[in-house]
Amino acid sequence: MASDNILSRLQNKRILLGITGGIAAYKCAELVRLYKKAGAEVHVVMTKSAQEFVTPLTLQALSGNPVHTSLLDPEAEAGMGHIELARWADLVVIAPATANFLANLSQGKGDDLLNTICLATKSPIALAPAMNQQMWASPATQNNISTLKTLFSSDRLNWMGPAEGEQACGDIGPGRMLEPAQITELSASFFNEGIFSGQHIVITAGPTQEAIDPVRYISNHSSGKMGYAIAQAAVDLGAKVTLISGPTNLSTPERVTRINIKSAEQLLETSLLLISTTDIFIASAAVADYRPSEIAEHKIKKVDGEDQMIIKLVKNPDIVATVAQHPERPFTVGFAAETRDVKTYAHSKLERKNLDMIVANDVSNTNIGFNSDNNAASIYWPEGQKELELMSKTQMAKEILLTVHATYSKSRSATK
């Protein structure tokens, strides 16, 4: 049984599973399930003969993605074609890898989708052979295996098995495909463990919009750039990342699950829905402190003779404080955008809102903060502080997360 530690390396990884026409193809349904359970994204490519053993619909249901079956499918090529699939994969796994497939690959054939992907990818390829023991021992098969080992370096082509034992035909010997759990664990071993492997980090980003009427709202100047940079850095460090985003013009970072919201109340509701599975909560969104007490059903019109419009505002919920005081609270990081007395206000928020850490910056400096690609900040936590000089938000995101990890790891050790 694989340890959760090893399997956590599959979090956010992109596995392309190639299934060829062997009886062991039926095991691939379980293999896809295990990959998904470990947090990997899976695309399945099936040869024509593989579809005789297991249906594409089964693999589509389990993977959550369309199954790719044809090299010359115009619809597929208009979407994720063979070159895109080859580029997309972090790891290509062929299970089962039949004698026929090994022969074609050793000859560099590109006459079907799966062989073409193997020729086009720069990613590692892992082969899980499955065939009759006599076919495995055949000089022709062994010659093809020797050719493949010569053509591909060991970091490009790897072998998973075969195992020995009783086969479907009744023979006993080498040629059995490894069990799905073994293939899953070996797949995980291709990847280094990130410092946040196995952790779910939820990040809020961007502004909120508090509606006045159907066409007007109260908001702020937040671009969301800092939160999006943290989301990308967290994925790069191995975390499963959910980004709760107010309205921005930014593209979703790769491998990040994005949930769009508009108002502070929507942000709070979404955060609480995720709280039971959240390990670290980073609240970088710029939430409006107040919202209109009532939202007009129709656009508010100007009234002749009246030079003022009075809108009654009510306080919005404090999202980060609510999360930090929740019975299932994750490690909670707040942000403070201040224009004066940054350290004083940051420490006050840290204690008052029961936060584990707070990142504070002076937004009165026009060279940093809102809409800028650069930032400078101070990080405070109960036992210390760290100054981050002017740097790109991409670089700062990583520095923030490294600081979070050090403090988070200590807090986890202390509770064990």
- In angstroms, rounded to a whole number, what is the distance separating the alpha carbons of residues 225 and 248? 9
102: nearest Cα among 40, 144, 132, 157: 144
334 forms beta bridges with 283, 358
Burial group, residue 279, by CB count within 10 angstroms (0-12, 13-18, 19+): middle
Burial group, residue 209, by CB count within 10 angstroms (0-12, 13-18, 19+): buried
CB neighbour burial string for 286-302, b if at least 16 within 10 angstroms, e if fewer: bbbeebbeeeeeeeeee
- From the list 168, 169, 215, 406, the catalytic residue is 169
3-state secondary structure of 317: coil
- In angstroms, rounded to a whole number, what is the distance separating the alpha carbons of residues 19 and 51? 9
Burial group, residue 371, by CB count within 10 angstroms (0-12, 13-18, 19+): exposed
Task: Look at the chain and count its residues.
Answer: 416
- In angstroms, rounded to a whole number, what is the distance separating the alpha carbons of residues 278 and 272? 10
- In angstroms, rounded to a whole number, what is the distance separating the alpha carbons of residues 158 and 123? 11
Burial group, residue 27, by CB count within 10 angstroms (0-12, 13-18, 19+): buried
222: nearest Cα among 371, 322, 97: 371
In the residue annotation, 118 being an active-site residue is answered as no
Token representation of residue 335: 């942000």
Ranges assigned E (strand) in 160-295: 163-166, 172-176, 200-205, 210-211, 217-218, 240-245, 257-260, 280-283, 290-292
- In angstroms, rounded to a whole number, what is the distance separating the alpha carbons of residues 327 and 325? 7
Q: Kindly list the distances between the CA atom of residue 371 and the CA atoms of 140, 219, 245, 385, 406, in Å, as whole numbers in the listed order.
A: 63, 14, 15, 25, 29
Q: Which residues are catalytic?
A: 169
